[in-house]
Amino acid sequence: MIIFKSINKLNKKVNFKANIGFVPTMGSLHNGHISLIKSCKLKCKKTLVSIFVNPSQFNKTNDFKKYPRDLKRDVAILKKLNVDYLLVPKINDIYNNKKSMKININKKDKILCAKYRPGHFEGVLGVINQFLTKIKPKYMFLGEKDYQQIYLIRKFIMNKFNTKIVSCKTIRLKSSLAYSSRNALLSKKEIFKASLASKMTNNFYKLAKKNFVKIKKINELKRKIEFQKIKVEYLELRNKKNLSTKVNKSNFKIFLSFYINKVRLIDNF
């Protein structure tokens, strides 16, 4: 595996006209990231992984500071997976100026995480814009755990970049909790608690799939989760194609955000 600390050096060495797949991450790698990398390796000739904790997508400084980082462990995992290239850029390498750190999103899209984490997706689009401008991968692999992120990135890169997005399904622990780098900030007890929120929502999703009338009980589900002393930030039904609130039996998706102490987790079913 070749490790690049600058995009310039990466561009000199790698021919992006070839079939290259890109897996952007913020590191602290887990099975979710690993499944993206494996999908990339199956589809593409070469795999490029980036590790960059993007400051412009954190709306709270403390959250940025506390975000788990473990580069040594990450490098060992990537080497074991036979990843071809790893990019670990510095902030100055990505952004030339403050203005390039954010890309505005429509008022209509300020829902779910965009509503509760103001500036977050503006920062995500900012970094994706820089990555895709500076390197031109054929494919970019993203996880459905961050469903709204895929939706907004797809919309943003359409007609602007040729990179194709491959969306990969959410990988979960046996307890149903989605793998997340933030899980590293939780104790065993807290992982158990977080798993309850996922399990209850997943069960509710399955019931509603069988009998859509049950969907009306979503507020009851919220109360049941909160009864477990879990702070629910949002629990919403959305149309999986356009994220509108116009849902029916075949297009609905449930979006969940909750706090375990100060750690914020998201999921969707």
> By rule CB under 6 A, what count of residues binds ligand AMP?
17
**Residue 203 contacts residue 269 (beta carbons within 8 Å):** no
Closest approach of ligand AMP to the CB of residue 147, in Å: 8
If binding is defined by CB under 6 A, does position 74 make contact with ligand AMP?
Answer: no
**Which C-beta is closer to ligand AMP: that of 176 or that of 235?**
176
CA torsion angle 19 147 38 13 (round to 10): 40
d(CA 231, CA 207): 23
For residue 51, which of 181, 145, 154, 148 has the smallest C-alpha distance?
Answer: 181
For residue 235, which of 263, 187, 264, 267 has the smallest C-alpha distance?
Answer: 267
Instruction: Collapse the DSSP code of 255 into the 3-class scheme (helix H, G, I; strand E, B; otherwise coil) and give the result.
Output: strand
Closest approach of ligand AMP to the CB of residue 212, in Å: 27
Looking at 170, 183, 195, 268, which residue binds ligand AMP (CB under 6 A)? 170
Site for ligand AMP in 132-161 (CB under 6 A): 142-143, 145-146
If binding is defined by CB under 6 A, does position 268 make contact with ligand AMP?
Answer: no
d(CA 133, CA 87): 15
Site for ligand AMP in 9-38 (CB under 6 A): 25-26, 32-33, 35-36
Closest approach of ligand AMP to the CB of residue 74, in Å: 10
Token duo for residue 192: 């158990």
Residues contacting 25, CB < 8 A, separation 6+: 33, 36, 49, 50, 51, 52
Residues recognised as catalytic: 33
Closest approach of ligand AMP to the CB of residue 25, in Å: 4
Single out the segment in contact with ligand AMP by CB under 6 A; choices: 173-181, 210-218, 235-243, 252-260: 173-181
If binding is defined by CB under 6 A, does position 243 make contact with ligand AMP?
Answer: no
Q: Which chain residues interact with ligand AMP by CB under 6 A?
A: 25-26, 32-33, 35-36, 142-143, 145-146, 168, 170-171, 178-181
